[in-house]
Amino acid sequence: MRLNELSDESLHFRVQQLLAEYVEVIDDDRLEQWPELFVDDARYEVVPRENSDRGLPLAAMFCDSKGMLIDRVVSLRQANIYALHYHRHVLSNLRITQRSDAEVQAQCNFVVFQTRVQGETAIYSAGKYQDRIVATDGGLRFKEKRVIFDTYRIDSLMVRPL
């Protein structure tokens, strides 16, 4: 796939499908497939909005290779202790903010809903994705994903990627 051959609408559609796949592997708890949506030297960071607005670098989670993403999943599966829960993402307002032949920049709002053992669903986190996406032989992949979250009080270990 060559990015510059796609119309704005087609590109938007494909980015949306990548995001839908991203959400699906998390919500369906197929986390082993989550790193596969990134390129090898991808950067993934989860940043509080306040830090992002002020240009402060501190991140709640930071990975700069696919290997680190795989590590996170292994640690979630084998090391972390946490109560059973489900996540459910809602994405909205997708916009392509820049595109070149090499790369697409896209952003959208997200809200993640969490259901715990008591069976009630609560807002877990709201915020915004800022993504840099590239075309590979396997389709579109994340080169960089910045998760900027509004909700800075999270009352449980942030084990699952946002």
Using CB under 8 A as the criterion, which residues of the chain lie in contact with its own copies when the complex forms?
8-10, 12-13, 17, 19-21, 23-24, 27, 49, 86, 88-95, 109, 111, 113, 115, 118-123, 125-128, 150-153
Which residue has tokens 């990134």?
38
Q: Is 121 helix (H, G, I), strand (E, B) or coil?
A: strand
- Taking the complex as a whole, how short is the minimal distance between the CB of residue 40 and its own copies, in angstroms? 25
Taking the complex as a whole, the smallest distance from the CB of residue 50 to its own copies amounts, in Å, to 9
CB 71 within 8 A of CB 64: no
Of the pair 93, 100, the CB lying nearest its own copies is at: 93
Query: How is the beta sheet containing 38-48 ordered, strand by strand?
Result: 61-63, 38-48, 139-149, 121-136, 104-116, 85-99
Of 65 and 85, nearer to its own copies (C-beta) is 85
Q: Which is nearer to its own copies, 61 or 111 (CB)?
A: 111
**DSSP conformation class of 96:** E
CB 67, min distance to its own copies, A: 27
At a CB cut-off of 8 Å and minimum separation 6, what does 40 contact?
65, 66
β-pair partners for 126: 111
- Closest separation in Å from C-beta 113 to its own copies: 5
d(CA 161, CA 154): 13
Beta carbons of 65 and 41 less than 8 angstroms apart: yes
87 vs 143 by CB, closer to its own copies: 87
By beta-carbon proximity to its own copies, the closer residue of 105 and 109 is: 109
Q: How far is the CB of 86 from its own copies (least distance, A)?
A: 4
